[in-house]
Structure 1
Amino acid sequence: MKFTTSFAATTFALALATGAQAENPMVGGAPMYETKNIVENAVNSADHTTLVAAVKAAELVETLQGPGPFTVFAPVNDAFTALPEGTVETLLKPENKPMLTKVLTAHVVAGDWSAADIMAKAKASSDGFYHFKAVSGDALSAQAKGNALYIYDENGNAGRVTIADVEQSNGVIHVVDSVLVPK
């Protein structure tokens, strides 16, 4: 009987662990693994090829593979396409690496922030926004509208979180539908 109880407990624990792993959403048609870091997962997302190319051009791969934790608001390819014509090509030029780095780090916040935690902070504030700083030093604001979470850049442009809480070994990714542009 002791073996059966131990076996049942082990089976239950494995089922819980497998269930938690399976709950991480797919992004860009690819599974996202909690055991992989931000870069290891992002490179597999078909929706983030522009972001990955930009991270490589800015030489931020090593940083985003570091221990963190980081919260990344990851714009999809369509968000980059929506920028004025030529913007992405200009940012990817080697001479514009400082500006590219600033734009990318304006999407990163120190810590491991779940969408629920960010929404709770926004709902609890007197103005309905949670104000925080990106790694770039730029201001970001979060607002909850019903069940939707929006992240605003310093220019007042909003990116809607379309996929929240994609857990990583070194933080969390929230997929956004807009590029957050620093001033």
Structure 2
Amino acid sequence: MKKILLLSLALMMCSFAVLAQAADTDPVGNVPALGSMKSTAGDSMLPANDIIQNIAADKDLSIFYKFVNSANLAETYESKGPITIFVPANEAFESLPPGKLDTLFKPAHVWELTHILAYHAIAGKFSTKELHKRINKHKGSTTLTTISGGKLIAKTDGDNNIILEDETGGQCIISRSDIAQSNGVVHIISKVLLPKAKAV
């Protein structure tokens, strides 16, 4: 279970005007606001540190860090990697259904939490340049296989921002990208990605 990884999310359009304009041209379709494009998460990260060291030191990622510890996944994120991880900032957890955050912290839900966290990570190092390259090669979207074995769809919106779509149809945007780690790369997202429910 320790070899399973992470959560993640993203941010989208800031104003109603942008959303209204994008409704006709955005290949993602009529999607609710995906979050602010501005993010301070990741400001304190140093490329010489591993993913866990950097997340632990960033107050804007404290909820995700607590989740990683609750699921006993710190050792996984400290591994040599490389790992690409989509990390939800603290405000991203507001997108979860009411009460879900507290439920995930309960010991009885550790498997569900681990599955969600692993759904936010991909083996290998994927910069936004590489993601754009794959999206263009596959004519508008590409499928990413997460460490949990689940699938994420990556595509771009009308402003060339990378959109991630999870297995439940939820969508988010990468709000801050390409934060170098000693064992991979971190992309900050503004909503939690949710895999399909998995029977235990």
Q: Give TM-score, length-normalised by structure 1.
A: 0.82
Partner of 1:74: 87
Q: CA deviation at 1:49?
A: 0.8
Deviations 1:11-57 (A, max 9, x none): xxxxxxxxxxxxxxx95374211110001001122221110010000
Alignment equivalent of 1:92, drawn from 93, 96, 105: 105
Q: Deviations over 1:46-78 (max 9, x none)?
A: 221110010000000011001011000001111
Match of 2:143 among 131, 141, 150: 131
Residue in 2 aligned with 1:64? 77
CA offsets 1:146-166 (integer angstroms, 9 cap, x no match): 331111111121121000000
Matched with 1:165 is 178
Structure 2 counterpart SS, 1:160: strand
User: How far did residue 103 of structure 1 move?
Assistant: 0.3
Query: 5+ residue gaps in structure 1?
Result: 1-25
Q: Percent identity?
A: 33
Question: Larger radius of gyration, structure 1 or 2?
Answer: 1
How far apart, in 2, do the equivalents of 1:148 and 1:111 lie? Answer: 21
Equivalent residue for 1:46, pick from 47, 59, 65? 59
Q: Secondary structure at the match of 2:63?
A: helix
The root-mean-square deviation of aligned C-alpha atoms, in Å, is 1.4
Q: CA deviation at 1:136?
A: 0.5
Instruction: Say whether 1:108 aligns with 2:121.
Output: yes
Relative contact order, higher structure (CA 8 A, sep 6+):
2
Which structure is higher in helix share? Answer: 1
CA–CA distance in structure 2, aligned partners of residues 179 and 104 of structure 1: 9
CA distance in 1, matches of 2:171, 2:94: 16
1:142 aligns with 2:154: yes
* Pairing of 1:2-17 with structure 2 (within 5 A): none
TM-score, normalization by structure 2: 0.75
Q: Is the 8 A contact 1:39 1:61 kept in 2?
A: yes
Q: Given residue 136 of structure 1, which amino acid in structure 2 is its aligned partner?
A: S
Query: Which runs of 5 or more residues in structure 2 are unaligned?
Result: 1-38
